[in-house]
Amino acid sequence: MSTAPPEISQFDAENATTLTADFLKRLGYKGSWLPMKVSLDGELYVVEMMFQKLTAKVQINSKTKEIREYEFQEGESSANSIPKAKLVFLVAMISVGVAVVKLLGIF
């Protein structure tokens, strides 16, 4: 008679991320979610994921694997990022400046 060792359920950051991605897909948010941050706060894993301009923050109980809370935020992913319109305008202005300088014969 052999005794099998008890299975130890290890719920880690990787499992929390996978569970979060599956949860978001079940909610209808299909796409390539990018994991941004996973932290353990007591018994709660807090998983932050991003898809385009949408950020999801999901709290999961590490013991029961139950989704305790979730929220979505829309907006820029980084406070320091330059919006595309400003970047295009900046590149256009630099190009115009270079063209004017060449036309004037400075370079």
Q: Which domain holds residue 5?
A: 1-75
pLDDT at 48: 97
56 and 93 share one domain: no
pLDDT value for 49: 96
Between the CA of residue 79 and those of 13, 32, 76, what are the distances in Å? Answer: 26, 22, 7
- Same-domain status, 32 and 55: yes
Reading the block at residue 50, the tokens are 């991003």
Q: Is 35 found in the same domain as 54?
A: yes
Instruction: List b or e across 52-70, with b for residues whose CB sees 16 or more CB atoms inside 10 angstroms.
Output: eebbbbbbbebeeeeeeee
Does residue 64 share a domain with residue 90?
no
Q: Return d(Cα 62, Cα 32) in angstroms, integer.
A: 24
Flag residues of the chain having pLDDT under 70.
1-9, 76-82, 107
Percent of the chain with pLDDT over 70: 84
